[in-house]
Structure 1
Amino acid sequence: MNNYFENQNHPEMIKLQAAQRELYSLVKKYLAYSFLFAVLVPTVASVLYLILSFFPNYTFPWLKTALTVYGFIMLFINNLLLNHISSIKKRAARIQEEFDTRLFAMEWNDVVAGKRPGPHEWIEPADKHLKKNGSAALTDWYLNYSIALPSSVMTLLCQSKNLGWDARLKKIISDFLSIILVINGIVLLILSIIINPPAANIFSLIALLAPVYQFYYRYVNENKKSVARADELREKVESQLDKITETGFFDEASLKRLSRNIQDQIFIYRSSGNPAPDRMHRYNRMRDEERYDRIFDTYSERMKLLEPLI
């Protein structure tokens, strides 16, 4: 059987979870800044620009220049910010990988995940998070109670939870940003067809909206790719679990190889995708926990008499 329920709550494991939480909170804060200045401000400004285009007497001479300068400066700054966010995500993903490889008793794959994080990388953010928030939300990370299944099978169940946890939230955010992109496209279309403004005005608006398209490409494109891959992997894991359920047997060595390969893909999924806002997570957490408790209970009931192949 396995000791995942007890091991996930060891003090050092709690600190690893606290550290990755703190780093992902930093990612979310920076993403909020990026969204505000690279998406929201240009979108509102483009709508106002559209309205003012119907009233030429109220369009200030310096407006085109201001919009153009803001767009180009924000494009540069936002690129630096998004690159910084990517580096923090990879650091947080390595700490999550450290938690998982310890819990699942896996070897560290430095080819995929890079250098294994030492205490100097996670102690400071862990202490900072625990001082602010405590550890109550970090206990029982995968399991809310002990489940008597072989370790290799339990690993696959935990990995399926990893792959499905926030995929739905990422899809919602991506759809929301797609709507914003469409709104900006409509603004450009109206300006170019109905109002027929000078080329300089169109150029100013395109410069203003450049950070919006940059954010969309970096954020939504990364999310869509990571979610699509996560769905494929989750289906593969669930197919393997269903196969084990049907036959009543499993190949220990084969499952360990599969879990190691899946874990590499989970690291890529975490380091490439963008986390959902904390409020969305908190709002959906209880419902998602209950859903996975039911899933785990179902598989546990079906696999009571499992035997490894010899």
Structure 2
Amino acid sequence: MNDINSRQNSERSINLIKAFSATYAHIKRYEAARYFGSFMIATASIFMAAIQKTSPILVAIGVGWALTSSIALAQLARRWATEGATIQEHFDTYLYDMEWKSGRSKVEPERIHILSLRFRGSEERLRDWYPDVSELLTPFGILICQRSNVAWDIQLRRRWKAAVEFFLVAWCLAGIAVGIAQELTVLEMILRWFAPSSGLILLAWETVRTQQTIISERSELCSRISAELDWISPSIGRTAANRLKSACREIQDGIYATRAQTAAVPKFFYDHFRANDQEAMQTAAEDISGGTSSN
């Protein structure tokens, strides 16, 4: 039996969840600002295409915004992503009673407290962050929680990546269609449609590329977790338990690495699928555990 479920609803755990949730909220604000600015300029390009005019000023604004979005705002988001991933590492290592990664800096308690006060939302939704694994052996419970985290994230990111891919293809095809309908040269089509909306195109492409990278990395982690789960038994010995402990630490390092990347999924998208995904996570956890316990 383990203490994961009792720990995850403790005051310390809830404060840590509040802190990293507030941190990720900052990332989503930066991402929202990037999308909003890009959409506004892209909308202007639609208007210019409709009146069949090319605006050098709009081209300059579009290219300038693309650079600002891809360099300055993206860099700010990356800083928050690293801090958020580190705070979530505080949460997981406390939950799993796992040693801290040697050489990795911790976030100061004062900073965590300040961030937790910035949390806006229902505290009730922060409880039972991971599925119920209270009746399982400690390494088994940790692996189930790690798998739940990874599998949920993969599914959510696949949906978001598909949505952005669809938009990106539709936008580019629309630009080509406008160029053909107005009998534009390639240069005119670029200056009238693609250059002003370059910020939006680059952001969409960056989103698709980064999401695919994280999906691939997390899929490998999910396969590793499944391989470890395949041979666990209720009568696991000390040697095997120590090996599993080391494996869990390695898997956790992989989870941290993917969390530290700036590739947030919008809150509205997460909220839309949250109830179904949470139910699927719990069902999968029960199915995988197969009734195995520490008795």
Q: CA deviation at 1:91?
A: 0.8
C-alpha separation between the residues in 1 aligned to 2:125 and 2:169? Answer: 38
Q: Does the CA-based 8 Å contact 1:156-1:259 persist in structure 2?
A: yes
Can you list the C-alpha shifts for 1:212-257, whole angstroms capped at 9, x where unaligned? 2321233221111001211121122123212326x96461111111
Q: Does the CA-based 8 Å contact 2:46-2:193 persist in structure 1?
A: no
Q: Are the structure 2 counterparts of residues 45 and 97 from structure 1 closer, same or farther at C-alpha, using a change threshold of 3 Å?
A: same
Q: Does the CA-based 8 Å contact 2:137-2:293 persist in structure 1?
A: no
Can you list the C-alpha shifts for 1:109-148, whole angstroms capped at 9, x where unaligned? 255xx3111112211110121xx435211122113x4521
Q: Does the residue aligned with 2:195 lie in a helix, a strand or coil?
A: helix
Q: Does the CA-based 8 Å contact 1:233-1:262 persist in structure 2?
A: yes
Asked if 1:163 is matched to 2:155, the reply is no
C-alpha separation between the residues in 2 aligned to 1:146 and 1:235? Answer: 20
C-alpha separation between the residues in 1 aligned to 2:36 and 2:186? Answer: 29
Q: Does the CA-based 8 Å contact 1:18-1:125 persist in structure 2?
A: yes
Give the AA of the match of 1:52: I
Q: Does the residue aligned with 1:208 lie in a helix, a strand or coil?
A: coil
Q: Does the residue aligned with 2:231 lie in a helix, a strand or coil?
A: helix
% identical aligned pairs:
22
Q: Are the structure 2 counterparts of residues 110 and 117 from structure 1 closer, same or farther at C-alpha, using a change threshold of 3 Å?
A: farther
Give the AA of the match of 1:155: I
Give the AA of the match of 1:81: L
Q: Are the structure 2 counterparts of residues 186 and 139 from structure 1 closer, same or farther at C-alpha, using a change threshold of 3 Å?
A: same
C-alpha separation between the residues in 2 aligned to 1:305 and 1:11? Answer: 27
Structure 2 length-normalised TM: 0.89
Asked if 1:140 is matched to 2:128, the reply is yes
Asked if 1:90 is matched to 2:120, the reply is no
Q: CA deviation at 1:198?
A: 7.5
Task: Mark the runs of 5 or more structure 2 residues left unpaired by the alignment.
Answer: none
Match of 1:70 in 2: 61
Q: Does the CA-based 8 Å contact 1:50-1:187 persist in structure 2?
A: no
Asked if 1:216 is matched to 2:208, the reply is no
Asked if 1:25 is matched to 2:25, the reply is yes
Asked if 1:263 is matched to 2:252, the reply is yes
C-alpha separation between the residues in 1 aligned to 2:208 and 2:24? Answer: 17
Q: Does the CA-based 8 Å contact 1:47-1:187 persist in structure 2?
A: no
Q: Are the structure 2 counterparts of residues 291 and 51 from structure 1 closer, same or farther at C-alpha, using a change threshold of 3 Å?
A: same
Match of 1:37 in 2: 37
Task: Mark the runs of 5 or more structure 1 residues left unpaired by the alignment.
Answer: 54-58
State the aligned residue count.
291
C-alpha separation between the residues in 2 aligned to 1:141 and 1:278? Answer: 17
Structure 1 length-normalised TM: 0.85
Q: Are the structure 2 counterparts of residues 303 and 43 from structure 1 closer, same or farther at C-alpha, using a change threshold of 3 Å?
A: same
Q: CA deviation at 1:200?
A: 5.2
Q: Does the CA-based 8 Å contact 2:19-2:113 persist in structure 1?
A: yes
